[in-house]
Every structure is written in C-alpha cells, then in structure tokens.
Amino acid sequence: MVKKFEPARAQTVEKQAVDLYAQGKSIRAISDQIGASRSYVHRLLMRRRSEALKSIVSSVRVREGDEPLPSGNAISMGAIMFHNRRYAH
C-alpha cells in the first residue's frame, strides 16, 4: 500500500529532499533520513529538475522568438546539463 503524506508533511519532505540532494547526498541516503521511499524521493527530485529547466527554457525561448537558436545558447546548454545529470545516476 502506498504511504501518503499529509500536505504539510509532503512539503517538508520535498524541501528536505531538495536540500539534502543539494548537499550531495544520494537518493538512498535521503530516503533513509527523511523516511520516504527511494522512488518517491527520485520522483520529487526529477519533478523539481524538470520544473527548473522548463522555467529557464521558457524565458529564453520567449526572448529569442521563433528563430532557430544558435549553438551554445542557454537552452541548448541547459538541455545538455539536464540530460547528463538525469542519466549519470
């Protein structure tokens, strides 16, 4: 059975997970420390990463308009960094 967190607890868990990940902790260590499953922690972190990338990409895309982006643009670099971090684990 899936363990659901109360909304306030879910926000606390997400903040703790993000903070611990920023400190370099592994997903396994974070899940042990905050009392959530590894898959839950992984989903939280992936959602956070994709939201951050979307916010970066959207503002640059709006600023650049409909023309093709030059190589080395922040969107291209952001996508490469996102891809590398996503599959490095």
Residue 2 lies in a domain: no
Helices (H), ranges, 23-70 = 27-34, 38-64
pLDDT in tens, 30-67: 999 998 999 999 999 998 888 877 777 667 677 777 77
Residue 70 lies in a domain: yes
Query: Residue 53 sits in which domain range?
Result: 7-87
Residue 74 lies in a domain: yes
Q: Which two tokens stand for residue 3?
A: 């363990």
The larger pLDDT score, comparing residue 7 to residue 89, is at 7
Residue 1 lies in a domain: no
Instruction: Kindly report the pTM of this predicted structure.
Output: 0.60
Residue 73 lies in a domain: yes
pLDDT of residue 1: 44
The answer to whether the beta carbons of residues 38 and 31 sit under 8 Å apart is yes
Q: Residue 82: exposed, middle, or buried by beta-carbon count in 10 A (0-12, 13-18, 19+)?
A: middle
- The total domain count for the chain is 1
Could you tell me which residues come within 8 angstroms of residue 6 by beta carbon, excluding any fewer than 6 positions away? none
Residue 79 lies in a domain: yes
**Angle CA(26)–CA(30)–CA(36) in degrees, nearest 5?**
135
